[in-house]
């Protein structure tokens, strides 16, 4: 009988240790996942953030696209990247996957701006038949001049008034559920 009590207590103790370890591990995982999606800048509600003026760039089909063409979108993500940036190249599949999921959280769109001359310069980055919206800023006037981009990639989250409400420096897990939940919080 004594042995059964000891074995029972040992089993409870081991189960409790396992449960605590799993719980702590999940907590640390969720915290680290949040740190990965945490923006490098987030405008407080009361702060009047920088408003992005209208501009015109060329898309991959050589059409002129005005920034104001996206005024009907409630939340606009602008990802700025460079043709010579290896991290930007790694990020393309994440952005492509996220672009397909954005409609599930509301009236949200993704616009990418490549500091490159044309689609021919970056076509190898993309899977055949990509639907990603890509504009080209060959002289860096929009990326550096309007957005103030200093590193590539940088992603800006803009509200309906086209004010910057968050900025992410570097690569992120764009298509993750955590990121989509974070972005939905702005709607």
User: What are the DSSP calls for 36-81, one per residue?
Assistant: HH--SEE--TTS-PPBPPP-EEEETTS-EEEGGGGTT-SEEEEEEE
Q: pTM of the predicted model, to two decimals?
A: 0.76
Structure tokens at 82: 């460079």
H/E run at residue 14: helix 2-37
Give the integer Cα–Cα distance in Å for 76 and 159: 7
Tens of pLDDT along 4-25?
A: 667 566 555 555 555 444 444 4
Q: What percentage of the chain has pLDDT greater than the value 90? A: 33
CA 52 to chain centre: 19
Asked whether 147 and 76 are in contact (CB, 8 A), the reply is no
Tens digits of residue pLDDT in 156-179: 999 998 988 888 898 888 888 888
| pLDDT reported for residue 38 | 64
Q: Which of 42-56, 69-83, 114-128 has the lowest mean pLDDT?
A: 42-56
Are the C-beta atoms of residues 50 and 162 closer than 8 Å to each other?
A: no
Asked if 155 and 40 count as a contact pair (C-beta separation under 8 A), the reply is no
CB contact at 8 A, 161 and 99: no
pLDDT of 105 strictly over 70: yes
Tell me what pLDDT residue 185 has: 87
- 120 confidence band (pLDDT: 50, 70, 90): confident
With beta carbons less than 8 A apart as the criterion, state whether 125 and 112 touch. no
Q: Give the mean pLDDT of 127-132.
A: 75
Cα torsion angle, 138, 139, 145, 151, sign: positive
Q: What is the pLDDT of residue 102?
A: 87
- Contact assessment for residue 152 and residue 91, using Cβ atoms and an 8 Å cutoff: no
């Amino acid at each position: 009988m004594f042995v059964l009590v000891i074995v029972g207590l040992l089993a409870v103790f081991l189960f409790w240790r396992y449960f605590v370890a799993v719980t702590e591990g999940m907590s640390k995982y969720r915290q680290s996942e949040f740190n990965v999606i945490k923006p490098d800048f987030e405008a407080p509600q009361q702060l009047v953030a920088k408003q992005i003026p209208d501009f015109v760039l060329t898309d991959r089909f050589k059409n002129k696209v005005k920034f104001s063409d996206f005024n009907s979108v409630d939340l606009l993500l602008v990802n700025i990247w460079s043709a010579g940036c290896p991290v930007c190249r790694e990020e393309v599949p994440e952005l492509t996957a996220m672009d397909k999921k954005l409609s599930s959280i509301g009236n949200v769109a993704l616009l990418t701006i490549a500091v490159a001359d044309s689609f021919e310069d970056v076509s190898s980055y993309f899977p055949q038949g990509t639907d990603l919206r890509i504009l080209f800023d060959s002289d860096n006037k929009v990326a550096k001049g309007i957005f103030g981009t200093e590193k590539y990639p940088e992603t800006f989250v803009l509200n309906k008034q086209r004010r910057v409400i968050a900025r992410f420096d570097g690569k992120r897990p764009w298509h993750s559920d955590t990121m989509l939940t974070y972005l939905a919080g702005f709607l």
